[in-house]
Structure 1
Amino acid sequence: MSESLSARSRRVAAALERAGITGEIVVLPAAAHTAVLAAEALGVEVGAIANSLVFWSDGEPLLVMTSGAHRVDTVALAARLGRGGIRRATPEQVLAATGQPIGGVAPTGHPAPLTTIVDEDLAAYPRVWAAGGTPQTVFPLTFDELVRLTGGTVAPVA
């Protein structure tokens, strides 16, 4: 693990190592706060970016790992999950739930496990890229590794 990584990214790297995921964290030359910026920096399709979006639902955080190619339909997802509603978490809620800032939320390395939904559309890509704990860091993994890493439920989210 690189000592040049931030403490947040080192926590993510340690979680990846514990999970047996070999993709290493890459530090981008500039922050990539959006899937489009991350895809451009990596030279990949925007759909291969696994956006980590934190929502608030039924009094708790809900992490949705979605393809960068589309938006989450919160009404349809809430109905699919049998939840009272899903709304975007505030920046303060995101930081409290994940220990990571918006634009850099990783699928792992949080203070406690989060209920996670993984977008079924990410399965179309042999390799996906997720944030590494900061807006400047990303790492590669397979769809199956993402599901295993997060303990997530695979579902349509768009």
Structure 2
Amino acid sequence: MSKELKASSVKVQEFLSQHGQDFVVQQMPGSTRTAEEAAESIGCTVSQIAKSLIFKHGETGEPVLVVASGTNRVCADKVREATGIVLKKADASFVREKVGYAIGGVPPVAHNASVQTILDQDLHQYSEIWAAAGTPNSVFRLNPRHLGELTQGQWVDLAQ
């Protein structure tokens, strides 16, 4: 693992440090763009990857972050039933503009502005999970409790 962090990862590291945790952003030698690639680079299961997906709120047009276990597909109907939010697809330019990161490196924290967040309750089964840290090859380790505290997200059953 390289010690040199890119600007996007530094932004994430600064956010984590400001929130009183000892999280360390790690630059991986291989890609972490997909949950499968991240798990392979880290040496964990795909389910332990907390993938950050940005959607568009169907009513407001604002970004909605869904953090899902790496093996789960998000069921928009379950999200709507649990939260009242209708999820719409967001394109790459929307994601970069609204949250400040490119798809494949979107972290669950340190966005351009506050983002409503929905968390996959399946992540609770792991003592250790991994999330993207701003680039397609940077990650940080945390646990589900910290994920909830850092994001102020709502835990729901969202898997298809």
By the TM > 0.5 criterion, same fold?
yes
Could you list the runs of 4 or more consecutive aligned residues of structure 1 that deviate by over 6 angstroms after TM superposition? none
Query: Does residue 75 of the first structure (1) align with residue 77 of the second (2)?
Result: yes
Q: CA separation in 2, counterparts of 1:43 and 1:3?
A: 19
**SS in structure 1 at match of 2:80:** helix
8 Å Cα contact 2:31-2:41 kept in structure 1: no
Gaps of 5+ in 2: none
Tell me which residue corresponds to 1:153: 154
What does residue 134 of structure 1 align with?
A: 135
Q: Describe the SS at the equivalent of 1:12.
A: helix
CA distance in 1, matches of 2:122, 2:24: 23
Q: Which secondary structure state, in structure 2, belongs to the residue aligned with residue 133 of structure 1?
A: coil
SS of the counterpart of 2:131? strand
- Match of 1:51, SS? strand
The letter for the 2-side match of 1:66 is: A
CA displacement at 1:31 relative to structure 2: 1.9
Q: In the alignment, what sits opposite 1:11?
A: 11
What is the count of residue pairs matched by the alignment?
156
Provide TM-score, normalisation by structure 1: 0.94
**Alpha-carbon distance between aligned partners in 1 of 2:51 and 2:106, rounded to the nearest angstrom:** 8
Q: Is the 8 A contact 1:21 1:141 kept in 2?
A: no
Shift of 1:3: 7.6
Q: Which amino acid aligns with 2:118?
A: I
Alignment-mate amino acid for residue 8 of structure 2 = R
138-147 or 2-11, which deviates more: 2-11
**Deviation, structure 1 residue 30:** 2.0
Q: What do residues 49-101 of structure 1 show as CA deviations (whole Å, max 9, x unaligned)?
A: 00000001121110001000110001221222112x21221101110121110
Aligned to 2:48: 48
Q: Where does structure 1 lack aligned partners over 5 or more consecutive residues?
A: none
Q: For residues 124-146 of structure 1, what are the alpha-carbon distances to aligned partners after superposition, in whole Å with 9 as ceiling and x for unaligned? A: 00010000000110000010000
TM-score normalised per structure 2:
0.93
Distance 1:30-1:108 versus aligned 2 partners, 3 A rule: same
